[in-house]
Structure 1
């Protein structure tokens, strides 16, 4: 798989790997950053293990993990990825996204999602992009809905969380034939 960098005037998404994950150590320590995720990233060892898993998925062509660089503040902001890539059926997920609290609500996430959706539909030529969100995570659900993604269903008690809680997951999707309208109406100024 070709190493990809996605970039616009606001953000640069480069491949997350063992050579750069340490830029995220301070951000990963922020409390409740991945509250609705089954991942643990708040210690150096946890973040390294998280990155090793992402790199392993990258080499197996099931994920493309990114480190996020905010060009407006000239600092690293967090991580996101394409995951559960199904090359045969041309479906992938955008997720595993976490950015420091100082970057939340600044428009950074919208720029990231634009680059990722554009790449998925226009370069990879995929037919569908999915988002999976913890049913309790109202902020993320609303953010995904603002992107134009449609709620397709809820998988009940499908994901085991760190404390033993089984979460229910909201499944959202955007189809390739919806992308032009979303690109124009949601991301028109990009």
Structure 2
């Protein structure tokens, strides 16, 4: 696991660590940024705890967390990660993604996801990439579907949210054998 940077003409994903996460403090304060997540990031202490957890998972080879730099605006935009990495079964999740509201709808997310999917399938040679999305988060569900991911099922009341609500989680997946068609269709021109 020697990845340090994934990069294209629009975005640079670098390993998230305790030296660079402070670039995200102002973004993490934006209201409702992670409304559909069981994570709390809106205070400096909460964000640091969130990052420490991601770093710990990286050390245990179960996650690869990234800080997102938008080259178009020359600014940090948020973070994302590979998580729940199962090296034996060659399955991982892409998630824990949040970007500032000023980046929503800008195409940044699509560029990030392309880099991550390409790395997962072409470099790591994994067999499957999964996405888990709160059933109520229609915007994120549509974004994942636009990437070519297929809804595989819904886990009912499986995640406890900060407000005590038990959410249903939509499970999406992309298989390695689907990647070339997705790359040539959804990401044509990248």
TM-score where L is the length of structure 1: 0.99
Structure 2 unmatched runs, 5+: none
Structure 1 unmatched runs, 5+: none
Aligned residue in 1 for 2:137: 137
Aligned residue in 2 for 1:4: 4
Q: 2:3 and 2:175 mapped to 1: Cα distance?
A: 25
Aligned residue in 2 for 1:14: 14
Summarize deviations over 1:117-165 as a string: whole Å, max 9, x none. 0000000000000000000000000000000000000000000001111
Q: 1:3 and 1:19 mapped to 2: Cα distance?
A: 17
Aligned residue in 2 for 1:109: 109
Give SS of 1:47's match.
Answer: helix
Q: 1:3 and 1:129 mapped to 2: Cα distance?
A: 17
Give SS of 1:48's match.
Answer: helix
After TM superposition, what 4+ stretches of structure 1 lie above 4 angstroms from structure 2? none
Question: CA-atom RMSD, angstroms?
Answer: 0.5
Aligned residue in 2 for 1:153: 153
Give SS of 2:117's match.
Answer: helix
Give SS of 2:34's match.
Answer: coil
Q: 1:58 and 1:168 mapped to 2: Cα distance?
A: 27
Aligned residue in 1 for 2:87: 87
Deviation at 1:4, TM superposition (A): 2.2
Aligned residue in 1 for 2:74: 74
Deviation at 1:3, TM superposition (A): 3.7
Aligned residue in 2 for 1:177: 177
TM-score where L is the length of structure 2: 0.99
Summarize deviations over 1:12-31 as a string: whole Å, max 9, x none. 00000101000000000000
